Structure 1
């Protein structure tokens, strides 16, 4: 992996996991020392992060990590509904039913595994990521799949803002199971409805638990 790719991946993960908080100045010299690469790869990585909207130029301060406001969350979910509802419908029309049938079964079992431990949550999030990947593959639309992947970068940050307690995670697992079930049944309208319900409940939860960073 190239040095710029390593720097990009490390900085991106730190931002998405809130280890680099909004407003943090990302100085090239400091980050190059921290990541063990020269300044040029860091500069390239920061350019990519700027393009994704994870960082922004802030006048004389240099490059800083962007914040996520309630207004941003509303806008992200507007876009999310547009993209994900269409993707779910296309997956139901074009996807392999057996793939989503298996995901449905695994998601039904997820609540039994969920608890307050980090490994359990990571396993659940990995399963949800697999559902996302299966939908991306099923829709057979590279432009829509790329738009979804770009959006999810920001959604991971939003998810970290919310207090995902066991009750919400269990409910979300059931909602994801319903989406997988509808796609497995080859029912586009049901897949759309299940996705809309999940997004509505997710947005309500995020906004109810969101605490702006100062």
Structure 2
């Protein structure tokens, strides 16, 4: 029973810490101290220590000599490696989804992305991101390949942190919505070549946007202040 309670505490601590890292509440370079996080989360240090180990396994935290653990930083090398993998996986996923039965659902997503300007304009970014998450889930279901879906899930975990940087760039979000709309239209039409090309264009523009953002002096200053 004691082990079960501790396991539950570990999972709760891990879930909260993971969410805080992905949402930027714990920014890149932030020091992860057992005592501090134990007090903040209201659990003992053992579940926090075990949760930290899970974060390291996920690649969301890393040990730093003499400082314990820190939230894993984001840099251009990570960005390019993630996008190389993401493009290979998502282009393949798009081709499979375009050939899957029941793809009519993507026509609904095309319509929803067509109305995304209203969400972005109203500052309802969480609702916009919810639509993209539902779209990803629909593609995953159409792909029906658990190995591909699992690999995509791992990549998306890290890209969430990068994508959050676009929260204050409505222009990029509007462009991304149009790109998603074209992808959804191609999937609904069963056009695998167009869907793959639309994914390639979307990811190229997304990568370029984030490269520019990660190169800005304000981003580097923020990382240094958080380190």
Larger deviation, residues 33-42 vs 22-31? 22-31
Structure 2 equivalent of residue 89 of structure 1: 95
1:49 to 33, 47, 55: 55
2-structure distance, mates of 1:127, 1:13: 19
Displacement of 1:163: 5.9
Structure 2 equivalent of residue 30 of structure 1: 36
Displacement of 1:160: 2.3
- TM-score under structure 1 length normalisation: 0.94
Larger deviation, residues 196-205 vs 104-113? 104-113
Structure 2 equivalent of residue 182 of structure 1: 186
**Which blocks of at least 5 consecutive residues in structure 2 are unaligned?**
1-6
Q: Which runs of 4+ in 1 moved over 4 A?
A: none
Structure 1 equivalent of residue 152 of structure 2: 148
Displacement of 1:113: 2.9
Displacement of 1:30: 1.5
Q: Does residue 15 of structure 1 match 2:44?
A: no
Displacement of 1:50: 0.5
Secondary structure in 1 matching 2:125: helix
State the number of aligned residues. 212
1-structure distance, mates of 2:43, 2:101: 43
**1:102 and 1:151, CA in 2 relative to 1: closer, same or farther beyond 3 A?**
same
2:172 to 163, 168, 175: 168
**Which blocks of at least 5 consecutive residues in structure 1 are unaligned?**
none
**CA RMSD across the alignment:** 1.5
**1:55 and 1:109, CA in 2 relative to 1: closer, same or farther beyond 3 A?**
same
